[in-house]
Structure 1
Amino acid sequence: MPKAILFDHDGTLVDSEPSHLALWNEVLEPLGVTLPEPLYKDLYAGMPTPANAVDIAERFGLDVAPAELAERKAEATRAFLAARPFPLMPGTREVLDRLQAAGLRLAVVTGAARDATRASLAAHGLLDRFETIVTADDVAFSKPAPDCYLLAARQLGVSPAECVAIEDSEHGLQAAADADVPCVVKPTPMSAHHDFARATVRVDDLHAAAAWILARAAA
């Protein structure tokens, strides 16, 4: 029986991946590089910015240190969020209401930076809905490593088996599965082609994810 629901942020709670692709291209344009959408979908959707920066710098032979490239992307994201929030995924508020009404504890587990995640959630008035928020800044190794999920379970005082993760990407699924956290996968157009063979269940939207979780909580 699940006790805690661990939500990914980008692509799960908020529809941010198209914006992240646009922000990467904003950062890369002065360097003479355009990141094609198919490449972003294959390699970068759902991955932390520092890891993406390492691959992009190497792949395109950029004369910029990956750490500097990651900081430029982080700054672009901060500027974006200062002007507007990422839109919520359909059903986000209703699903949070349903899960909390059932007595389930909620957390966010993301490969994004702490400041961007908190700004995104605060813009929608959702910060106080989550008991803990684990970001890439809180672990030595972010997604697809399992560290973030293991830390969230420890902070909540529950075992990984007593949690359910909700993810949208193969990289996030790998992190949850390697932490022995059952994982509901809700793909987006950016991740629909990912390998989700390790998912506990695959659903079409957050409402279906909540229905699956609540059925098990009531069992």
Structure 2
Amino acid sequence: MTAITSQTRAILFDHDGTLIDSERTHFELWQAIAREQGVTIDHDFYCRVMAGIPVKQNAQDLVSHFSLSVGADVLAEKKYAAMRDFLATQAFPLMPGAKAVIQASVEAGYTLAIVTGGSGLSVRRTIEKHGLDGLFSTVVAAEDVVRSKPAPDCYNLALKQLKFSSEQAIAVEDTVHGMQAALAAKLRCVAIPGDYSDGQDFSAATVTYASLQDWCAAELND
């Protein structure tokens, strides 16, 4: 089985963990914020509860799980501020093979978009720093929707902006929460688990690959 069909016209890429290698940095920033509150986030907790989830929900989950007295909005703003500081001087590195896969997707005639539960600033840095200008027809980020992943709103908005039906597009995701958002938007979904999501259940995905390069070789270079 493949995700791309004869009807496919657009490929909607997740950003964090799919196109950029960012999850370790997100994990470390959240660890620092948690330590300020006297609690510890370990790798297992982050992978199970936080990876692939937008900042506001992460903050709410931390407050709930650890019974913190601080408001979730305060924690979220600390994370936003930490990310702004990080992105002020750099962009996240691309995942292995990401640029080649993006170029192969364009050369194959597909319309591309980035649909992320992260910030638009992070996406802009990626596009600027890695020479990807003009390759994506639209970007939908966390601030563009009321409900972010795993709700389907971000994908529905991207489809609306691109003027494609769900049958004409596929999603490429690295977490189960992103996969759930894509499937809820009635998209076929390529799952590419990473270091922070390889223990998640991707059985509902249309197809799963070990890497972007494997997917590209199987479906774009076929």
Residue in structure 2 matching 1:88, options 66, 88, 94: 94
Amino acid at match of 1:139: V
Is contact 1:27-1:76 (8 Å) kept? no
Residue in structure 2 matching 1:116, options 118, 122, 135: 122
Residue in structure 2 matching 1:172, options 172, 178, 181: 178
Give 3-state SS (helix, strand or coil) of 2:134's partner: helix
Amino acid at match of 1:90: P
Q: How is 1:1-219 mapped onto 2 (pairs within 5 angstroms)?
A: 1=6, 2-214=8-220
User: Gaps (5+ residues) in structure 1?
Assistant: none
Q: Which runs of structure 1 show a deviation greater than 6 angstroms over 4 or more consecutive aligned residues?
A: none
Equivalent in the alignment of 2:3: none
Is contact 2:159-2:166 (8 Å) kept? yes
Amino acid at match of 1:172: G
What's the CA shift string for 1:144-202, capped at 9, x where partnerless? Answer: 00111111011101101110100000000000001111000000011001011110000
Moved more, 182-191 or 123-132: 123-132
**Count of residue pairs brought into register by the alignment:** 216
Moved more, 123-132 or 60-69: 123-132
Q: How far apart are the structure 1 equivalents of 2:219 and 2:180?
A: 20
Change (3 A) 1:57 1:121: farther
What's the CA shift string for 1:30-80, capped at 9, x where partnerless? Answer: 221221110000111000010010010121122221111111001101111
Displacement of 1:137 in angstroms is 0.8
Q: How far apart are the structure 1 equivalents of 2:66 and 2:82?
A: 20
Give 3-state SS (helix, strand or coil) of 1:197's partner: coil
Displacement of 1:127 in angstroms is 4.2
Give the structure with the larger helix fraction.
1
Displacement of 1:107 in angstroms is 0.2
What's the CA shift string for 1:95-140, capped at 9, x where partnerless? Answer: 1111101111100000012223322332223243211000111111
Give 3-state SS (helix, strand or coil) of 2:195's partner: coil
Aligned-pair identity (%): 44
TM-score computed with the length of structure 1 as normaliser: 0.94
Q: How far apart are the structure 1 equivalents of 2:75 and 2:132?
A: 30
Give 3-state SS (helix, strand or coil) of 2:114's partner: strand
TM-score computed with the length of structure 2 as normaliser: 0.93
User: Gaps (5+ residues) in structure 2?
Assistant: 1-5
Displacement of 1:23 in angstroms is 0.7
